Amino acid sequence: MARATSAALALLIFLLCRHAHADAATTLSQGQSLAGNDKLLSANGAFSLSFFSPRGGDGSRVYLGVMFARAAEPTVPWVANRDAPVRAAAPSYSATVTDSGDLRVLEGERVVWRTNTTSSAGNFTLTIQDTGNLVLAGGGGAQAVHLWQSFDHPADTFLPGMNITLARRNGAVVRQTLFRSWRSPDDPAPGNFTLGQDPLGSAQLFIWRRSEDGRDVTHWRSGQWAKGSFVGIPYRPLNLYGFQLSGDPSQTNGLFYTFQRFNSSQYRFVLQPNGTETCYQLVDATGAWEVVWSQPTLPCQAYNTCGPNAECSAADHCSCLKGFEPKSEAEYSNGVWTQGCVRSSQLTCSERNVSMSGGDGFAVLTGVKLPDLAAWESAVISADACRQWCLANCTCNAYSYSGGTGCLTWARELVDVYQFPAGQFPNGQGFDLHIKVPASLLDSGSKRRTRIIISVVIVLAVVLAACGFLLWKCRRRITEKLGVRGGKKRTGAALMLRPSTMKAKHDFSGPKQPDQEVAENGDGCELPMFTLETLAAATGGFSEANKLGEGGFGLVYKGSLPGGEEVAVKRLSRSSGQGCQEFKNEVTLISELQHRNLVRILGCCIHGHEKMLVYEYMPNKSLDAFLFDPARRGLLDWKTRLHIIEGIARGLLYLHRDSRLRVVHRDLKASNILLDHEMNPKISDFGMARIFGGDKNQENTNRVVGTLGYMSPEYAMEGLFSVRSDVYSFGILILEIITGQKNSSFHNMEGSLNIVGYVSVSHRF
């Protein structure tokens, strides 16, 4: 009995499935009709054509529509009789293909909707392609001709395989694809919102809202197409969804966006009844639709929320662009922004602006949705040329240049500017907008900031110097009370690091000629010793590719030790007696000093005429490589510059006061400040340094060494040096860090011999 029941149940299921398959045909042929619950399926089973009543409605209205067959809830991307629903109470309703090649929706015998196609081809068929495109064809077989397709007459949904087209002739629109929203979620009739390309040919997408007086007013725009996406939709790049721009608005096919399915996932873009454009993705496991993104959902995303010449921020706050002020201060204060802003001061605008100082300039607004009504300057192919073009044209109010958009300029008011929230979107943060303003607005702000920064740094330097002096005086009094002078009984003059004075620890014995060959075995060097072969292998045979720099005492190479540690190898010149002296100074001095802001020496090599020093490697090289390079200068923001200044000050304070040896560097400059991977500064190059005895504050030398421009006047002219000599060099270095200008760059300027003179004249407080 159980077997008989199972067999009967299996037979029943088979018959039901066969009946269902028979009802769900894939082709509606000439003379056939689709009625009631009949369905027309696509070959892949993803789409169907059938009659339906909208969810949430009263069920009195029936429509013919294409539906997603695999969605859990009824989803209708296209409706035939949007304006003319069939009455559900009607005795009969159907869809049929006539002998003349016309697809019609009938209520009884009354035609409520038709494609209005006629053809003598015969053998007419209606099918749904795997993309959801409903196609009416004639002729049959390989000779079939498409008479009509639903993709040319979209409703509210953009599907893969569709185009959004704009074609223009002699400045007039001759063909435009438009999407129309539903009137409400349960009423497919055309609603108040329409989506299509900008009729002016800017390749932007617009949503227009039908006003009460019947006009279409702009509700939203996508922004310019650049780098595979729209500027105003900074989510995931749309080209990753198969969205592409092709064609030319003046050509036959026009300018069109295509949407090609790029993987197994199903996407759709829907213009909602409330005017938002929403991207959905079908979740195969559940059949539910997931929202990918939707716009506009914020006040700032709506068109021109803040009025002309204003920007809308991520906090939905309006503010005038630089160089502009509210047209109505009273309305702006009350949050009524529709009148926007006007220029606070007029441009000096002149064709001579390109070469005139004091003319107009540009204020940069970063990370924005660019304004509407841009003009593309096709002949301009660089950022600098775009800037010059805008400067030279009095009608140009702003410009923007990028590899994706080219040179865009604005001659009219700047409308619909949206400042994207920083760090929120993975597809970048918009584009830079350069707004033309009078140079006076730029200069005043720049000078004011510079003055504030210089004032703060000078006060900081004075406070540090005063604190250092007071601490030094206090320490000296304590040592005098204890009867100790200088801690190590160095009561003579300042000791230069010579073999004779340091011989007990570093025996560079031999004849006393300055260029004497140092003992080949390296006796007296207490640092770790490296063989010549090791350093040659580490530097690739001292190859040009590994050369980091060149100074007066020799070359510096990058090397990699057998353990993988990266080092810097200074190879002193064989013919330089000064290089020999520098070698002795650094071996003696740096091995005695340990501080986070002093470069660390790892070892040395003495082999015949070869003398080399091995230092820790600084990946960011020297400060001057950033400070005086226009391409890299921007990496040094004010926070980083202040951090570098503080680090150098700490290193100097250690040399002058806190170290066991009291050291004057004598060659402090930007190229001798090295930067590690975290931009921490380290003072290097102690070849000219001097050690001072505890009871000496100043010393005289007949041989002045150092770099002109960094030397204090008393040292350069009289040979007098002290810790104050380093403080003077530090001051010059601070001015270079603040201004970004090299001290020597002012030598040829009329009325200013150095950076000190330049600052005193240019920035009077």
What is the rounded (10 degree) CA torsion for 660, 661, 664, 665?
-80
List, in sequence order, every residue forming a beta bridge with 312; answer none if it has no partner.
Answer: 318, 418
Burial state string for 372-392 with b = 16 or more CB within 10 A and e = fewer than 16: bebeebeebeebeebbebbbe
* Residues facing residue 75 across a β-bridge: none
Amino acid at 501: T
Contacts for 469 with CB less than 8 Å, ≥ 6 apart: none
Contact status, residue 166 vs residue 254, Cβ threshold 8 Å = yes
Token pair, residue 234, equals: 């900074």
Q: How many helices (H) and strands (E) does the chain have?
A: 12, 49
Cis amide bond preceding 630, omega within 30: no
Amino acid at residue number 292: V
Inter-residue contact 435 to 323 (CB < 8 Å): yes
Query: Partners of 682 in the beta sheet?
Result: 674
CB 310 within 8 A of CB 337: yes
Amino acid at 162: M
* 288-295/673-675 β-pairing: unpaired
- Is 570 annotated for ligand binding? yes
How far apart are alpha carbons 127 and 137 in whole angstroms? Answer: 8
Residue found under tokens 């397709």: 149
* Distance of alpha carbon 312 from alpha carbon 420, whole angstroms: 9
For residue 152, which of 143, 139, 161, 142 has the smallest C-alpha distance?
A: 161
Q: CA-CA distances (angstroms) from residue 540 to 99, 283, 529, 535, 560?
A: 86, 58, 19, 8, 9
Q: What is the SS3 string spanning 633-667?
A: HHHCCHHHHHHHHHHHHHHHHHHHHHCCCEEECCC
Residue identified by tokens 């309703």 is 93
Region label for 562, one of left (φ > 0), alpha (ψ between -120 and 50) or beta (otherwise) = alpha
Active site residue 443: no
Kind and range of the H or E run holding 760:
helix 755-762
The structure tokens 């004779």 sit at 500
Residue 537's DSSP bridge partners are none
> Which residue among 102, 198, 667, 726 is the active-site one?
667
Reported in sequence order, the residue ranges of 552-596 that DSSP labels E, i.e. its strands, are 554-560, 566-572
DSSP 380-421: --SHHHHHHHHHH-TT--EEEEETTTEEEEE-S----EEEPP
Q: Which residue has the tokens 């009078």?
A: 438
Residue 226 Cα distances to 235, 268, 398, 745, angstroms? 13, 22, 18, 41
Q: Of 374, 478, 492, 518, nearest to 433 (Cα)?
A: 374
23, 38 contact by CB (below 8 A): yes
* DSSP-assigned states of every residue in 657-715: IISSSEEE-S---GGGEEE-TT--EEE---TT-EEE-TT-SEEE-SS--S-TTTS-HHH
Q: Write the CB contacts of 439 (distance below 8 Å, at least 6 apart in sequence).
A: 348, 357, 358, 359, 360, 361
Query: Which residues belong to the annotated binding site for ATP?
Result: 570
**Active site positions, annotated:** 667
Q: Which residues are annotated as a binding site?
A: 570
